[in-house]
Structure 1
Amino acid sequence: MVHFLYNMDTAAPAVVLSGLNSQSPGAQLVPFSTFRTEPRVPDEVLKKAFKINGQDVQRIQRNLGGS
């Protein structure tokens, strides 16, 4: 599972510490786990993270078999 965090405070940097429960957590297909996950990653987050617009988000989701 791909995790994401979004720092709402634009005046201060964020620090993240993450851990996995295995030495070999397996492979992730990032396009599917980002654009086709349930619950969905909010479109606003995808647009800002990948510097794309709403039409691009919809096109990528559609091309990956989503709505």
Structure 2
Amino acid sequence: MPKIFKIIQEKSRLTDDDMLKTFNCGLGMIIIIDKKDDPKVHNIIKKNGFRSYTIGKVIKRMKNQSICYD
């Protein structure tokens, strides 16, 4: 989490959970790409002076299966 959010959290005494529900704590953009392009995309982002993270995956679900976010 960027430093400014740590300061806000200390001053407000918000929990990590409340911080994430209230603020965009650092993920400025999310893109969905094919897994095979992951290294290439991370390289392009890094070459342009930004950081990137792989934060999840899209998987096929069965018709009656619930959606679950971890």
- Higher relative contact order, chain-length normalized (CA < 8 Å, sep 6+): 1
TM over 0.5: no
The alignment's TM-score, normalised by the length of structure 2, stands at 0.27
The alignment's TM-score, normalised by the length of structure 1, stands at 0.28
